[in-house]
Structure 1
Amino acid sequence: MTMQRIDGAHDVLKRVWGYDSFRPLQKESVQCVLDRRDSLTVLPTGGGKSICFQVPALCMDGLAVVVSPLISLMKDQVDALRSCGVAAAFINSTQGPNEKRAVADQIRSGELKLLYVAPERLLAPRTLDFLAEQNVSFVAIDEAHCISNWGHDFRPEYRGLRILKQRFPGIAVHAMTATASEPVRRDIATQLGLQQPEFLVGSFDRPNLSYRMLRSNNRMQQIVDVIERHRNESGIVYCISRKEVERTSLCLNQLGVTSLPYHAGMSDGDREANQEAFIQERCDVIVATVAFGMGIDKSNVRFVIHAGMPKSIEHYQQESGRAGRDGLESECVLIYSGGDVVTWKKIMSGEPQSYEAAAKSLDAMFDLCSAPSCRHKAIVEYFGQQYESDNCRACDVCLDEIDLVDDPIVLGQKILSCVVRLKERFGAAHTAKVLVGSGDKRVLELGHDSLSTYGLLTDAGQQAVRTWIEQLIGQGYLQRTGEYQTLSLTDSGWQLIKGQVKPQLTVADAPRSRSRSQPSVDSWDGVDRDLFEALRQLRSTMAAKSNVPAYIVFGDATLRELARVRPSSPNAFGQIKGVGERKLADFGEAFVEAIAKHCEKNGLAMDVHTIPSSTPMVRTMPAVPKPNAVAAFPLFRQGETVEAVAQKLGRAVSTVAGYLQDYIRSEKITDPTQWVDPKTAALVEENISAEDEGRLRPLFDRLEGNVDFETLRIVLTCHEVRLQMATDE
Structure 2
Amino acid sequence: MPSVLDKAQSILKDTYGYKEFRPLQRDVISYAIDGNDSLVIMPTGGGKSMCFQLPALAQEGACLVISPLISLMRDQVEALKQNGVASAYLNSSLTGKEQNIIEEQFLSGEIKILYVSPEKLLTRDFFNVLKSVTLNLIAVDEAHCISQWGHDFRPEYTKLDFLKKQFPTVPIMALTATADKATRTDIASQLGIPHAKTFLASFDRPNLDLTVRAAQGRLESIIGMINRAPDESGIIYCLSRKSCEKVAEKLQAKGIDADFYHAGMPADVRNKTQERFIRDDLKVVCATIAFGMGIDKSNVRWVIHYNLPKNLESYYQEIGRAGRDGLDSKTLLFFSYADVVQLKQFMEDSPQKALLEAKLQRMQQFAEATTCRRRVLLSYFGEQLETDCGNCDVCRNPPEFMDGTILAQKALSASARTQEKVGSRLLIDILRGSGRQEIYQLGYQNIKTYGVGKEHSYFDWQHFIGQFLNLGLFEIAFDNHNILRITEHGKKALRGEVPVQITKPESVNERNQRLTPAKPRKSVQHSNELFDRLRTLRKKIAEEQQVPAYVVFNDATLEDMAAKRPNNEDEMLEISGVGQQKVTQYGDRFVREIIAFVKEKAEQGEKIKGATHLITFEYLKEGLNPEEIAEKRKLNIITIYSHLATLYEQGRDINIRNYISEEEESKILKGIEETGETEKLKPLFDHFKEEIPYYKLRLAMAVHKKRL
In 2, distance between residues paired with 1:82 and 1:621?
A: 56
Q: Report the CA distance shift for 1:86/1:412 in structure 2 as closer, same or farther (over 3 A).
A: farther
Which residue pairs with 1:480 in the alignment?
Answer: 475
Which residue pairs with 2:244 in the alignment?
Answer: 245
1:404 maps to 2:400 = yes
Correspondence for 1:458 among 454, 471, 477: 454
Question: Does the residue aligned with 1:231 lie in a helix, a strand or coil?
Answer: coil
Q: Report the CA distance shift for 1:26/1:416 in structure 2 as closer, same or farther (over 3 A).
A: farther
1:395 maps to 2:392 = yes
Which residue pairs with 1:419 in the alignment?
Answer: 412
Which residue pairs with 1:278 in the alignment?
Answer: 277
Question: Does the residue aligned with 2:370 lie in a helix, a strand or coil?
Answer: coil
1:381 maps to 2:379 = yes
Question: Does the residue aligned with 2:290 lie in a helix, a strand or coil?
Answer: coil
1:198 maps to 2:191 = no
Q: Which amino acid aligns with 1:480?
A: E
Output one character per residue of 1:671-727: Cα deviation in whole Å (capped at 9) or x when no partner. 999xx9xx9533777999xxxxxx99xx99xxxx89369989x99xx9xxxxxxxxx
Which residue pairs with 1:64 in the alignment?
Answer: 63
Which residue pairs with 1:570 in the alignment?
Answer: none
In 2, distance between residues paired with 1:623 and 1:276?
A: 42
Question: Does the residue aligned with 1:264 lie in a helix, a strand or coil?
Answer: coil
Q: Report the CA distance shift for 1:58/1:343 in structure 2 as closer, same or farther (over 3 A).
A: same
Which residue pairs with 1:287 in the alignment?
Answer: 286
Which residue pairs with 1:513 in the alignment?
Answer: 513
In 1, distance between residues paired with 2:11 and 2:66?
A: 22
In 2, distance between residues paired with 1:398 and 1:261?
A: 33
Correspondence for 1:682 among 627, 648, 652: 627
Which residue pairs with 2:154 in the alignment?
Answer: 155
Q: Report the CA distance shift for 1:622/1:166 in structure 2 as closer, same or farther (over 3 A).
A: farther
Pairwise CA RMSD? 4.3
In 2, distance between residues paired with 1:623 and 1:68?
A: 54
Which residue pairs with 1:530 in the alignment?
Answer: none
Contact 2:56–2:136 (8 Å) recurs in 1: yes
In 2, distance between residues paired with 1:492 and 1:181?
A: 34
Question: Does the residue aligned with 1:397 lie in a helix, a strand or coil?
Answer: helix
Contact 1:417–1:497 (8 Å) recurs in 2: no
5+ residue gaps, structure 1, are 520-619, 627-664, 689-694, 719-729
Give matches, 1:624-639, under 5 Å. none
Q: Report the CA distance shift for 1:417/1:254 in structure 2 as closer, same or farther (over 3 A).
A: closer
In 2, distance between residues paired with 1:428 and 1:263?
A: 33
5+ residue gaps, structure 2, are 520-563, 571-608, 634-642, 661-693, 699-708
Which residue pairs with 2:176 in the alignment?
Answer: 177
In 2, distance between residues paired with 1:412 and 1:6?
A: 63
Q: Report the CA distance shift for 1:440/1:90 in structure 2 as closer, same or farther (over 3 A).
A: same
In 2, distance between residues paired with 1:217 and 1:10?
A: 51
Output one character per residue of 1:608-664: Cα deviation in whole Å (capped at 9) or x when no partner. xxxxxxxxxxxx99999x9xxxxxxxxxxxxxxxxxxxxxxxxxxxxxxxxxxxxxx
Q: Report the CA distance shift for 1:316/1:706 in structure 2 as closer, same or farther (over 3 A).
A: closer
TM-score (norm 2): 0.69
In 2, distance between residues paired with 1:66 and 1:621?
A: 58
Which residue pairs with 2:542 in the alignment?
Answer: none
Deviation at 1:67, TM superposition (A): 0.6
In 2, distance between residues paired with 1:353 and 1:122?
A: 27
Which residue pairs with 2:335 in the alignment?
Answer: 336
Question: Does the residue aligned with 1:511 lie in a helix, a strand or coil?
Answer: helix
Give matches, 1:29-428, under 5 Å. 29-97=28-96, 99-349=98-348, 351-389=349-387, 391-400=388-397, 403-404=399-400, 408-409=402-403, 411-419=404-412, 422-423=415-416, 426=420, 428=424
Deviation at 1:331, TM superposition (A): 0.9
Q: Report the CA distance shift for 1:320/1:98 in structure 2 as closer, same or farther (over 3 A).
A: same
Q: Report the CA distance shift for 1:706/1:332 in structure 2 as closer, same or farther (over 3 A).
A: closer
In 2, distance between residues paired with 1:338 and 1:490?
A: 21
Output one character per residue of 1:75-129: Cα deviation in whole Å (capped at 9) or x when no partner. 1111212222322221223334554344334323433221111111112111111
Contact 2:63–2:113 (8 Å) recurs in 1: yes
In 2, distance between residues paired with 1:9 and 1:491?
A: 60
Q: Report the CA distance shift for 1:13/1:465 in structure 2 as closer, same or farther (over 3 A).
A: farther
Q: Which amino acid aligns with 2:155?
A: P
Give matches, 1:553-572, under 5 Å. none
Q: Which amino acid aligns with 1:358?
A: L
Deviation at 1:74, TM superposition (A): 0.6
Q: Which amino acid aligns with 1:378?
A: V
Whichever of the two has the greater Rg, that structure is 2
Contact 1:236–1:304 (8 Å) recurs in 2: yes
Contact 1:234–1:301 (8 Å) recurs in 2: yes
TM-score (norm 1): 0.67
Output one character per residue of 1:357-389: Cα deviation in whole Å (capped at 9) or x when no partner. 333333332332233332212222233432322
Output one character per residue of 1:438-459: Cα deviation in whole Å (capped at 9) or x when no partner. 4456656776656665445435
1:707 maps to 2:700 = no
Percentage of identical aligned residues = 37
In 2, distance between residues paired with 1:667 and 1:55?
A: 61
Question: Does the residue aligned with 1:292 lie in a helix, a strand or coil?
Answer: coil
Question: Does the residue aligned with 2:304 lie in a helix, a strand or coil?
Answer: strand
In 2, distance between residues paired with 1:364 and 1:710?
A: 61
